[in-house]
Amino acid sequence: DGGAADGWKHESQAGAVVVTGNTETTTLNFGSATLYEFTRNVVKLSGSYLYQKSGEILSAKSWSLGLRYDRNLTDFHTIFLGETVEGDRFKGIDQRYNTDIGTKLVFLKDETLNWLGEVGYRYTLENAITISRSLHYARVYSEVEKKWSATLSSKYWLEFLPNFTESSDWQANTELSFSVVLTSIFSVKSAY
């Protein structure tokens, strides 16, 4: 059955940083992911929002909304198809549509350590403030999660997107995070 129980799962996160004094800064971020698993299929809906203001100057504003379908061929091999729309005012992007297709492999999965990788193709249609363009990428992704105890875990992921259309316009994204479980439904996460 794909190694996981069927049914609904949901995860939300919210963060706020408010600094007062000589400089006033406000940062708000929200994220949510809801997935439904049935037989060997997973459908995931996710979204995020970031807002930052320094004094009276808006310095960050971005959002994303995504839908992804995974088909588990075995407990260690999955194929997927996804669509994401996003915007980032300060990158000059009104809307960016990303269509992903690829495969996921689980290299290691046990009680304390999970390691997976994804390889695929991404087609991007980008409506920037000054120009619209379509781009073709490869996508390589890896994620390692370590459970240090029943309440403490860490995760590191790295994503690399070489651009076939404009080779100088490649992307790399990464995150290191630590999570501490406080109750059965509440945890604290620190990420960079």
pLDDT (tens digit per residue) in 51-96: 999 888 898 999 999 999 999 999 999 999 999 999 998 888 899 9
Average the pLDDT over each of 4-18, 109-123, 134-148, 169-183 and give the range with the smallest value.
Answer: 4-18
Q: How far apart are CA 149 and CA 166, in angstroms?
A: 45
pTM: 0.85
Under DSSP, is residue 184 helix (H, G, I), strand (E, B) or coil?
A: coil
Quote the pLDDT of residue 3: 47
CA distance 125 to 117: 25
Phi-psi sector, 75: left (phi>0), alpha (psi -120 to 50), beta: alpha
